[in-house]
Amino acid sequence: MYLRRPGRRRAFSSLFVALGSLALIPTCLAIWPFPPKRFRGNSLIDAGSMGLTGDGRVIAFGDFNADQLLDVLVLGSDQQTLSVYHWKHDTFSFVDSGSFKHPQPVYNVVPGDFTHSGKLDLLVMSQSRTSNQLDLTLYPALVGDGFDVDHPINIQSSLLPQPIPIDVDGDMKIDLLGLTPSSSGTDSVLQIWNNVWNASADKPTLFHVENAPFHGKQCTPANPHSNGVIDLDGDCLADVFLVCDDGRGGKSYQIWVNNKNNGFTLSQEGSLPTGTQAISFADMDRDGTIDLVFPTCSSVSSSTGAGKDCYINIVYNQQLPLCTSATDSGVRKGVRVCRPPEQLCTADSKFKFDFDPNSTGYVKFPVTDLLPSSASLLVEDRSFNPPLPLSLKLGDANLDGFPDLLLISSAANNQVPHLVFSAPCAAGLAGCAADGSGKRGWKVAAQGANALDTISDARSVSFIDMDEDGTLDILVQRTGDAGQGHYLFVQNNFYYDAFFLKAIVLNGACNNGWCYGPNGTEKYHPFGVSYSGATYKYTVLDTSGHRSAAQVGQLPQTAYQSLGTPYSFFGLGRTNNYIENLFVGTTLHSDQHFIDMEGVIPNSKVVILPSVKEGEIWKRELFLRPGEWIPWVTVTVVITMLLLAIIVFVLQLNEKREDELERRKISHHINFDAL
């Protein structure tokens, strides 16, 4: 007789159960509600060209179809063909939506709502038949999609220093500031292309050229320049920073403060350090003021555009700080010494930038402190004609509230992009003193940055938030010499335990409501029509309860293909609270040109629609993008509810059983008194 062993039967049963479980895995995966992550790994990840093709270059960013997703404008290798690529969330790529050819070589393109229709037009700056001039052409946006290439608007020409967008008269329409052929050597050098567009007129005129309302001795803008429109004195009203040609082969600067209806007055001027390259603007030390960042080099190669013996310079804006206490009025013996959190938009007429290397407000350190193997930076892109100045790109890549740097080193014919993180000062960090003191230190991202380190033919770098997911990714444009194409997007897949905020101020088109095409053929929101000059200031509490302030500008620079995004992006750091105060400033010439928003939710996008009419309430819209953790929170809540329901059900059964036992006990009880 053969006797089966019980243990063997249990073993076979366990095996069958395991095999059955394995068979169910594909079914479980099929019904799993969470899609797999597109990018894996805590690092910078090579995301490829994301649908961009050809050997051209990205020349501008903009939301051309008002879907709140960032699109790109590409200039072909012939420097005449312009193509719009729309971002498609479903396919996670850019899709070509059409192109047209400009008759002359294009130098720069500025997307903006110049016709106040609620859609982005294209202002094209191109080569003129006159050698010292630029032709300006506007392609108005069509009602549906695309641009009216058959009926462009020709604008009075500019001199070679590229004009910059500015709202000079406070009507929220985009004007231009620059030089025209009629500019003279008198005090009225600067000219304004004043936007006088009236779509209802029989023959509408776009611009009327006139003298700029700048009161003081005006300089001649350099070519190239780093002119910017951004608040520098702290009143949330955009001022003007000009980089000038000093006539002796060097550069100087002027700062013009905005006085609303009284024009601009000269506040500060001086010489820039020898070898100054392109200047960028950002709040580098998170004190609520805009600082200056730029490289200086001893010389620049005429063939490669690489600067030799380069230094990185940070000039801090010295003005009223944030009061340390929320109850502090900020006034001592009738003199204001600090800004309370609810009064961030208070002007400081004594603000200054001190370019003295011995000043505490000036930090300068060699590039070799960051990259010991290279002292050269790529400061000009000579793959384009004429060469383009390359600035240090600023953006908060790790969401800690302090802007980081993107730069390109140049050594042995290799042009390698680098991400440089801002960090608290410590001994040995670039930008800090030997004892570790200083405002901020700098260190190159090394771990997880292989996607950048393997590039050897970079010609420009830019920050861009792909798919609007709240992280700053990187666009690297390449010469194509390495055979890897001309576009490379690098996904920022680092995990940061911090928050962000995105904001955009619209230009008041369509009374900040719905826009309608001719005869009501189309209805759309003017979501893509930001403009240069809006200002954001905010206060936030970190996890230890420390309050800090920060300032961010909206599109401060647009010349020479600066590749600024239409929205403003800023990291908030770690916080367990809402944003205390978010001040939003505009260029309106009204009594109240800014608003204060309290309790704004982090990890969101704020759209501000200011009212051009005095006394009308501004509209505000807040958009929350669900993060990857939202489904997990949902699962956790559902499981917790099920567990609680089971506990309640079990307790209910126990209660019923106890009641039944009690009832039976009572029913069997004999009342002897009744006998």
pLDDT tens readout for residues 54-92 = 999 999 999 999 999 999 999 999 999 999 999 999 999
Categorize the per-residue pLDDT at 18 as very low, low, confident or very high, splitting at 50, 70 and 90.
Answer: very low
CA-CA-CA-CA dihedral for 101, 106, 111, 113, to nearest 10: -80
Rounded Cα gap, residues 536 and 554, in angstroms: 8
**What pTM value is reported for the model?**
0.89
pLDDT given for residue 108 in this prediction: 98
Q: Is the pLDDT of residue 5 over 50?
A: no
Percent of the chain past pLDDT 90, that is, above it, reads 75
**pLDDT at site 184:** 67
**Measured between alpha carbons, how far is residue 140 from residues 105, 136, 515, 525, 543 in Å?**
19, 13, 15, 17, 48
Average pLDDT of span 251-270: 97
What CATH architecture is 43-325+334-505?
7 Propeller (2.130)
The CA distances from residue 202 to 194, 264, 517, in Å, are: 19, 34, 18
Quote the distance between the C-alpha of residue 380 and its chain's center: 22
> At 210, which helix (H) or strand (E)?
strand 207-211
What's the pLDDT tens digit per position in 222-243?
A: 999 999 999 999 999 999 999 9
Q: Which residues, other chains included, contact 15 with Cβ-Cβ below 8 Å and sequence gap of 6+? A: none
Section 11-25 average pLDDT: 45
For 545-592, how does the pLDDT look when each residue is reduced to its tens digit (9 = 90+)?
A: 899 999 999 999 999 999 999 999 999 999 878 999 999 999 999 988
- Cβ neighbors of 382 (< 8 A, separation 6 or more) are 303, 304, 305
Radius of gyration of the chain (CA): 30
Question: Model confidence at 510, in pLDDT bands (50, 70, 90)?
Answer: confident
Q: What is residue 1's predicted lDDT score, i.e. its pLDDT?
A: 38
Q: What is the pLDDT of residues 591-610, one digit of tens each?
A: 889 999 999 999 999 999 99
Side-chain half-sphere CA neighbours of 150 within 13 A: 1
Q: What pLDDT shows up at residue 561? A: 97
pLDDT tens column, 415-456:
999 999 999 999 999 999 999 999 999 999 989 999 999 999
Do the beta carbons of residue 296 and residue 275 sit within 8 Å?
yes
Query: Following DSSP, what letter does each residue of 60-95 receive, concatenated?
Result: EEE-TTSSSS-EEEEE-TTS-EEEEEEEETTTTEEE
Please give the mean pLDDT across all residues of the chain: 90
Query: How many whole angstroms separate alpha carbon 358 and alpha carbon 352?
Result: 15
- Residue 36: which pLDDT band, with cuts at 50, 70 and 90? low
Residue range(s) in the chain whose domain bears CATH number 2.130.10.10: 43-325+334-505
pLDDT digits 0-9 by tens, 488-505: 999 999 988 899 999 999
- Does the pLDDT at position 141 exceed 80? yes
What is d(CA 269, CA 253) in angstroms, rounded to the nearest whole number? 5
Q: What gap in Å lies between CA 470 and CA 500, rounded to an integer? A: 7
